[in-house]
Amino acid sequence: MSEHVKKLNADSDVKIVDATLRDGGIVNSFRFPRGFADALYRANLAAGVDIMEFGYKVSKKMFDVNKFGEWKFCDEDAIRAVVGENATNMKIAVMSDVGRVDLKCEVLPVSESVIDVYRIASYCHQIEEAAGMVEYCNKMGYFTTCNIMAISKNDVSTLKGALEVIAKSPVDVIYIVDSFGSLYPDDILRVCDLYGETAYKYGKKLGVHAHNNQQLAFANTIAAYSKGVEYLDATVSGIGRGAGNCYLESLIGYLRNPKYRIEPVLEFVREHMTPLKKSGVEWGYDVPYLLTGLRNVHPYAAIDFLKAGREDYEEFLREITEDK
């Protein structure tokens, strides 16, 4: 019964996207220890990661540079200090949320930038604006993705409408994002079919970004992979907002694809993630995240619950059930 050990998926189309600095940065306001980003870059290169997301590109007019570390803004110089001209096969990505940046003020032509990929994060109701941002980045020469957030809150027809809009844009990859960690693997399979219907019609690829509220981030990611989703987000030790994300080390272990190596990630866990956790940075599964996942509400409620030192789970469950 160990057929899976022999599983060898040499499908060169799978792409691992490391979102450690970006989604992890939400946990500590992007204030990582000195040397963290450099070591992660080297680990990702050695592990064969395809795309490394450095952080957000947001407007400095809207966010105070004194309140966040450098990966909230991803200046070209900050990235270059880590990667030089990045003369490697690994692509560099940044994420921009609709409404939090004027890309026309920020985006250089790709030939002048060390960035390769813009990932546009959008709620369904902002999809027209997201499509505009995609179009702009595409014109400037970038590979683009659109990450449609909080889809567990949308009905199928709203989501279909949004998919139609973004699939008609020049976007390269459309992402399934389980923002609230509320989806189960069987939901993911259905969502993949729904996304595929529109995306493949327009020649787009699919990606997946899962959250670990119910300890299903990895299971949901490999469920999507089984449906042909090619862009798989993960973070080292699952670091990310609240319950965190799919563990990069689990994903590489599962894929058994010769282009990836798990050892550099294991080394990074020991040298950088364990000390980060010991320093007091908090992320990962906990009961309140399970409950917000179950009730399909934003994990902020759980983060606040934990910050307040509360343990009255039953009352919390009532609160988030009534809020719905």
Residues at the site binding a second copy, with contacts judged by CB under 8 A = 1-5, 151-156, 159, 182-187, 190-191, 194, 212, 214-216, 218-219, 222-223, 226, 247, 249-250, 253-254, 262-263, 266-267, 269-270, 274, 287, 290-291, 294, 296, 311-314, 317
Question: Rounded to the nearest whole angstrom, what is the least distance from the CB of residue 296 to a second copy in the complex?
Answer: 6
**Cβ closer to a second copy: 138 or 215?**
215
**Cβ closer to a second copy: 9 or 29?**
9
Question: Rounded to the nearest whole angstrom, what is the least distance from the CB of residue 313 to a second copy in the complex?
Answer: 4
DSSP string, 29-50: TT-PPTTHHHHHHHHHHHHT-S
Question: Rounded to the nearest whole angstrom, what is the least distance from the CB of residue 51 to a second copy in the complex?
Answer: 23
Question: Rounded to the nearest whole angstrom, what is the least distance from the CB of residue 154 to a second copy in the complex?
Answer: 6
**Cβ closer to a second copy: 100 or 160?**
160
Nearest to 226 by CA among 7, 32, 2: 7
Q: Which residue has the tokens 């139609």?
A: 164
CB distance 81 to 104 below 8 Å: no
**Cβ closer to a second copy: 145 or 182?**
182
**Cβ closer to a second copy: 67 or 310?**
310
CB distance 248 to 267 below 8 Å: no
Nearest to 54 by CA among 23, 8, 86, 22: 22
Question: Rounded to the nearest whole angstrom, what is the least distance from the CB of residue 295 to a second copy in the complex?
Answer: 8
Of how many residues is the chain composed?
A: 324
Alpha-helical segments (H) within 168-286: 185-199, 217-226, 248-255, 263-268, 274-278
| Cα 261 to chain centroid, rounded | 20
